[in-house]
Structure 1
Amino acid sequence: MRKLPLRRVATLLLPLLLGAALAQTFGRPQYGSFSVVIVAIFAALLWRTPQSSMRARAKRGALMGLLFGLGWFAGGLWWLYISMAVYGGMAAPLAASAVVLFSAYLALYPLLAGALAAALAPPATSRPWHAARGVGAALAFAGAWTLAEVLRGTVFTGFPWLALGYAQVGNPLAGYAPILGMYGVDFAAALTAALLAALTQVSLRGAALAAGLLIILAVAGQQLANVRWTHPTGPQFTVALLQGDVPQGEKFRPERLAPTLSLYGNWLTTLRADLIVTPETGVPVLPEDLPPSYLHTIATALRSHHAQALLGIPLTRGANQYTNSVLGIGAAAPYRYDKAHLVPFGEFIPYGFHWFVRLMHIPLGDFARGTFHQPSFAVDGARVAPTICYEDLFGEQLAQRFRNPAHAPNVIANLTNLAWFGDTIVIPQHLEIARMRSLEFQLPTIRATNTGATAIIAANGRVQAMLPPFTVGVLTGHVQAYAGLTPFAWAASQFGYAPIVLVCLLALGVAIALARTRAR
């Protein structure tokens, strides 16, 4: 009688622990392949149900997906607590509850994936699955998993942080990024995991087929990584990426403003580089609150050095509207970029949640949005596309700037401030995301951050140079602009998320067809 409760506890605890283990693979590219193994174990557990009823299998799969998701997101996004409790002034119990509730919301998506994948898989029996049923179950898992990930990345403005595809930047599956973007890598990783899990379920013939498909996936990914869709254009230009390491607790204090302005003002007026980039809100106040000659002095010095700068600064638009923006300084024509994809609660307040934001003390918490079609900043003939912090998670939205190939970006420039989250895994997690954007578009990415990771990323997604996090310094280097469109850049610019959704639906359709054929 005692064995049943213990077995039940183990059944509930194992997916939770697997999700927590998956969370630890993000921001650690050397362990990215382990993420596939962990998801494979989850898939194998998902299929270990003997119920013949699809409804019963879906119910069990939903519970396992929910528990897996809770471990995954709570284990990988715990640093959100720091922004709310330490810097937002929220009571610790309320901040911790907010992280748990947010993780529970995000876990609804693996819940959906688990329910669908389990429902479409055959019941577990003492006899091995036929090869066709094994392949069908693997396709159903990959399609359901990736479709749920796309939903998580789009519903309520989306939150694709910790998507499985990001953990693959250091392995052969990253080769699918220029073809179908991060979600294409996500699908390849989920399919790989499901085929690994199928090895424990299928017949000898099925195992041989699954092994063959695994080899094809890995080899194809490696070969695709060697295909160049973009090419160098124009001469290299020099960059200076600024990392001020201004503590978040001090950044908006009046007594800290003068040292911050002096630090960045000195860099901007004395450094010699074709392009100088500050972090997000490197200048943390509106232009009208600056010393009268501050921006003019910087612009004059830049022009005398034949240099230009991208300056992170809040701006106004109309009456009582603020924008999280980038100013282009030193160019002949004025340039401004307004952040298009804002952070819920941090930069805009969702309807009905003003009471929640009032519990925190974050300045400028409700910004106006920019558009997804803003022009790039011209530097020595190269088009540099700014993104601000969180919005570089959305490759399909960045792809909108590639709709007109004649004006497509040649370099991506990300301005970020992660000081809200302290010295945590969030910094390498975000670097991993930036590397994926370079892989998708086969363009170099330059990152100027307040606390890290300030880096130069090559068009092949590799980090060429990086400053140590939480140091004050300047990262200098040469950047080669690239021209051309990857298949992902073209398809996403024209059709958004439709191509990867179609892939998922086709996988689910084939899975259903295989199941019906075998049933007959």
Structure 2
Amino acid sequence: MADTPARLMALPGWLRFLVLVGAGAVAGLGQAPFDLWPATIVSLAILFGVQARADTTKVAVFAVWSFGLGYFGFSLRWIVEPFLVDVARHGWMAPFALVLMAGGAALFWAVAGWLARRMAPGGMLFFGLMLVWAELTRSLVLTGFPWALLGHIWVPTALAQLAAFGGPHLLTLITVLAAWSLAAVWHNKIFPGLIVLAVLGGGAAFLRIGPAPEPRADAPLVRIVQPNAPQHLKWNPAYRDVFVNRLVDLTGQGAVPDLVVWPETAVPTLLNYIQSDLSLLDGAARGAPLVFGIQRQDATGGFFNSMVVMGPGGVIRDIYDKRHLVPFGEYIPGARLIADMGFTGLAGLVGTGFTPGAQEEHVMIPGIGPAVPLICYEGIFAEEINRGPARPRLLLLITNDAWFGQAAGPYQHLAQARLRAIEQGLPMVRAANTGVSAMIDAKGRIIDQIALGGVAAIDVRLPPVLPTPPYARWGEWPFAAVLILLTFVFYFRRFRFPD
């Protein structure tokens, strides 16, 4: 394996490009639903060698970009699904969306390769640190897109618990350290490589400390309802009552819970016009608080993607408006400049899409306490979860993953939800339109779930809250300080490993 990078660099340019794209795709197997994290580590180790052995900076940067194109193209393949909901109008955009998204994300990695070659030529570990910076930057700039982070490969493993200390980017650092250690062993730097591998292996063994404490017998009983409304039918007026009645029927079964949670946009009507339906919803909930997703319009004419908390008697107790909207899906960046072109986004609203919400704290669930409200896309942003001074009782995420199809997207979204629970030390109630709906405990374990594509309701006791983890207390700052220190150390000492 040690000469694999050299063999790759000896290939003709077009063939080397294809092989590197393929190697990147193999690295994507570490993401859900495959969860083959060794594939990511081995592929990245090869990339480290290629980047260090390239004859020129230009060749090295193109090699990294090619690998990233394969990685993101495979990991984000679900991105074509929203364009296939209405094939006649949007289907032609699907291949362009995938190529542009994958190629754009790979540019962050290419910049990392360029910086590594300029600042520490041949330094594989320094290149790894630049990759961590690239993933951190990708999570923040242009509203951020922290999907398929390299650290996400650890979600099914014990190492995921380290997210409680440094969030997803600490897991990304662990990923590149593991890949570098393997590359170092291949390149005859056996001692440092084995030391890092031993530390990572020992850490994983130490972290196998079991799940969070089981829910108390008198813990709130939560009913999570999944109607499975296909996206191409969800907004069809002919099916409006079909899906609402499905939710009502599933809600009204069995014992009365302490909380009922429906998915994002569960009621396909503006909140402004459902007064006559509130008694129907209240009757189904039978006095329990009901959380449901819906769209609404305010007095200024702005449209919002909202979460509503309804109490007994059909009284609206709280409303949360989604703050972090999906670019081009829920709003059009620079809409005023292109409104005349007729683009409104996949959300299908008139005008320029949704308006971002302003409130930044919690919603109150009667009888349970404060909850951190998250609507779909908001659940992928670890750094935006900490809200308000009070310690909440739970994370409450409603989503419509019908946009993501029936393959990788919903499972990758679920994996990120598990990380949010670990980072915050809080249980999460996750209600998804088509799945996967789940109760997740404060260590990221799925207590119960409704399968993708299922029509069902589950009753689950709310797991307990853990003591506030360091990440929930201090956010990204401690990890950022460590990353800055490591970057300076390896830059100034010029640690270079074999060419």
TM-score normalized with structure 1 length? 0.85
114-123 vs 172-181, which moves further: 114-123
Which of 472, 481, 488 matches 2:464?
481
1:8 Cα offset (Å): 2.7
What's the Cα RMSD here?
2.8
Matches within 5 A, 1:214-363: 214-224=197-207, 226=209, 235-270=218-253, 272-290=256-274, 292-299=275-282, 302=285, 305-330=286-311, 334-351=317-334, 352=337, 354=339, 355=341, 357-358=343-344, 362-363=348-349
Select which of 346, 367, 384 maps to 2:371. 384
1:499 aligns with 2:482: no
Aligned mate of 2:28, from 16, 23, 29: 23
In the aligned structure 2, how far is the partner of 1:11 from the partner of 1:35?
Answer: 19
- Identical-pair percentage: 28
Could you tell me which residue of structure 2 aligns to residue 152 of structure 1? Answer: 138
What's the CA shift for 1:68? Answer: 1.4
Instruction: Give CA deviations for 1:32-72 in whole Å, capped at 9, x if unaligned.
Output: 233222212211221223x5xxxx33x33321121112111
Distance 1:295 1:333 in 2: 9
1:120 Cα deviation (Å)?
Answer: 4.2
| 1:236–1:480 Cα contact (<8 Å) kept | yes
Structure 1 position 185, deviation (Å): 0.7
Aligned length: 483
User: Which ranges of structure 1 fall in alignment gaps of 5 or more residues?
Assistant: 124-135
Paired with 1:475 and 1:288, the residues of 2 have a C-alpha distance of 30
In the TM superposition, residue 263 of structure 1 has moved relative to its aligned partner by 1.9
Residues 1:409 and 2:388 aligned together: no
Match of 2:45 among 3, 19, 40: 40
In terms of mean alpha carbon deviation, does 85-94 or 426-435 score higher? Answer: 85-94
Secondary structure, counterpart of 1:283 in structure 2? coil
CA distance in 2, matches of 1:371, 1:29: 38
How far is the alpha carbon of 1:483 from its aligned partner?
A: 4.6
Q: Matched residues in 1 for 2:482 and 2:99: separation?
A: 32
> How far does the alpha carbon of each residue in 1:259-281 deviate from its partner, in whole angstroms, 9 at most, with x for none?
12222233445552111110100
After TM superposition, list the pairs within 5 Å mapping 1:362-381 onto structure 2.
Answer: 362-363=348-349, 366-371=353-358, 373-381=360-368
Counterpart Cα distance in 2 of 1:6 and 1:311: 56
**Secondary structure in 1 aligned to 2:12?**
helix
CA distance, structure 2, for counterparts of residue 253 and residue 306 of structure 1: 30
Q: Does the residue aligned with 1:261 lie in a helix, a strand or coil?
A: helix
8 Å CA contact 1:376, 1:409 repeated in 2: no
Shift of 1:109: 0.6
Assess, with a 3 A threshold, how the Cα gap between structure 1 residues 103 and 455 changes in structure 2: closer, same or farther: same
Moved more, 25-34 or 435-444: 25-34
* 2:181 aligned partner, one-letter code: L
**Residue 408 of structure 2 aligns to which amino acid in structure 1?**
I
Cα distance in 1 for residues equivalent to 2:37 and 2:496: 36
Give the TM-score of the pair, scaled to structure 2.
Answer: 0.89
Q: For 1:145, give the aligned amino acid.
A: L
Instruction: Quote how far apart the aligned CAs of 1:452 are.
Output: 0.8
Preserved CA contact (<8 Å) 2:364 2:370: yes
CA distance in 2, matches of 1:142, 1:353: 40
- Report the CA distance shift for 1:353/1:506 in structure 2 as closer, same or farther (over 3 A): farther
Query: 1:246/1:231 Cα in 2 relative to 1: closer, same or farther (>3 Å)?
Result: closer
In structure 2, C-alpha distance between the alignment counterparts of 1:71 and 1:289, rounded to whole Å: 47
Q: In the TM superposition, what is the alpha-carbon distance from 1:323 to its structure 2 partner?
A: 1.0
In structure 1, what is the equivalent of residue 384 of structure 2?
397
Would the aligned equivalents of 1:413 and 1:446 in 2 still touch at CA under 8 Å? Answer: yes
- Per-residue CA distance 1:130-181 (angstroms, 9 max, x = gap): xxxxxx642x133211110111111110111111111111224313200000
Determine the C-alpha separation between the residues in 2 that align with 1:113 and 1:4: 19
Aligned-pair CA distance for 1:356? 7.5
CA distances 1:451-502 after superposition (whole Å, capped 9, x unpaired): 110111122112121112112111221112315310000111xxxx443333
Tell me the CA shift for residue 4 of structure 1.
Answer: 9.7
Take 1:333 and 1:185, find their aligned partners in 2: how far apart are those partners? Answer: 40
Return the match for 1:173 from 159, 166, 182.
159
Query: What pairs with 1:399-478 in structure 2 (closer than 5 Å)?
Result: 399=386, 401=387, 403-404=388-389, 407-478=390-461
Structure 1 residue aligned with 2:4: none
Q: Which amino acid aligns with 1:238?
A: L
CA distance in 2, matches of 1:174, 1:100: 30
Q: Deviations over 1:95-147 (max 9, x none)?
A: 31232122211111111122223444444xxxxxxxxxxxx642x13321111
CA distance in 2 between counterparts of 1:20 and 1:501 reads 29
Q: Confirm or deny: 8 A CA contact 1:199 1:207 kept in the other structure.
A: yes
Higher mean C-alpha deviation, range 436-445 or range 269-278: 269-278
State how far apart, in whole Å, the 2-side matches of 1:359 and 1:460 are.
Answer: 36
Instruction: Tell me which residue corresponds to 1:513.
Output: 492
3-state DSSP class of the match of 1:477? Answer: strand
SS in 2 for 1:259: helix
Contact 1:384–1:412 (Cα < 8 Å) also in 2: yes
In the superposition, relative to structure 1, how do residues 378 and 360 fare at CA in structure 2: closer, same or farther (>3 Å)? closer
